Amino acid sequence: MSEELHGVHGLSLGELTRQLTFKVPSLGDLSIHRSPIGGWTNVNLLAESNSKKYVVKLPQLRVPYLENPYESQFRTYEHFSQLGICPEPIAFGRLDTEIETPFLVLRFVEGEIIPNLSEMSSRQLDMIREVMATFASSSPQGLPRHESSLDYSHHLLGKLENTLDQYNAPSSLVSDSVKTLRSITDSLLALGAFDDTWPKDVMHGDLQEPNIVFTESEVMFIDLEETSIGESLYDIAYLVVQNPKHGPTRKIPSQLARDDEPRIRQLMPLALLSVIAWTLDRIVRTEAGVLEESLGRPTTSEVLRSYLNSKMLHYEELSSRIGRH
């Protein structure tokens, strides 16, 4: 996102700065940049103080939160930052707004984001696998647990159903897409595509190129909202299928796949289900007008619809291919 921000969640940037400085005194004399730094789930703002850089995260949804979603994320970041594989969390809390908007402050990671797997070096791909191994073998407390692909599919569809129930009269695009999604998923279930048992290791859950930051000597994962106990190889399947320019038939770099390519490909239907369910959820919320207005972009709906159509086609093609074998 490149647009300039003058306010967010009903606060001017000056008032937001004042509140954060008051609530987190350790930040010192804070200055917040006007241009958000990406993200589809959070409003991410770059802030500076005394030559240190931070990321201030706020929800993109303008809805009340009974529980602060950043409290559990803070603990997750705290665990993995001690292992040197994610940003250090600084503070979480709530702003003095009508809906007590939650916030999270993280240390900003200086580094490079490479937009496509094909542009990453062999060493960088190896580094991703190494961080995944550290993730998988760690023991953070309080993460959601998923026992199998079937269990995770129920989790994904359950979140989408909750959103559909919350906002009435979705558009025909949403209604038709949800119907198609259910039909394809039922076919995959009948084919046994989700029949497995997961090893119960830690997975990032939303591993995409923008969430991988290469520094001079290491790689860090960011945006840990979907981190859970499940199967770490799911992250590679997700990383492959989520890219707007690629589908499930793309070649998996050998440094990522290693000896696990058959299993990674088995997890691709589930990864596509996740991508599609999230996109539908975001379209519903966009249509309902509950996204932060200051970040409204005329092209947002068009981008989401195009992405949905592309990934739905990939999901259908993958289901047909599985049915032929």
CA 144 and chain centroid, separation: 15
pLDDT at 297: 59
CB 291 within 8 A of CB 284: no
> How many folded domains does the chain comprise?
2
Q: Of 82, 107, 132, which marks where a domain is finished?
A: 107
Residues 84 and 133 in one domain: no
pLDDT at 298: 55
pLDDT mean across residues, the chain = 93
The predicted model gives 291-300 an average pLDDT of: 67
- The domain in which residue 243 lies consists of 117-324
CATH (domain of 181): 3.90.1200.10
Q: What is the pLDDT of residues 23-55, one digit of tens each?
A: 999 999 999 998 888 778 899 999 999 889 999
| Across 27-41, 70-84, 126-140, least confident range | 27-41
CA 93 and chain centroid, separation: 21
The predicted model gives 7-16 an average pLDDT of: 94
User: How far apart (Å, rounded) are the C-alpha atoms in residues 246 and 214?
Assistant: 22
pLDDT at 39: 77
Residues 274 and 164 in one domain: yes
Residues 234 and 320 in one domain: yes
pLDDT at 296: 54
Q: Where are the alpha helices (DSSP H) in the chain?
A: 13-23, 69-81, 122-137, 149-166, 172-190, 233-241, 254-257, 261-266, 268-288, 300-324
Residues 123 and 187 in one domain: yes
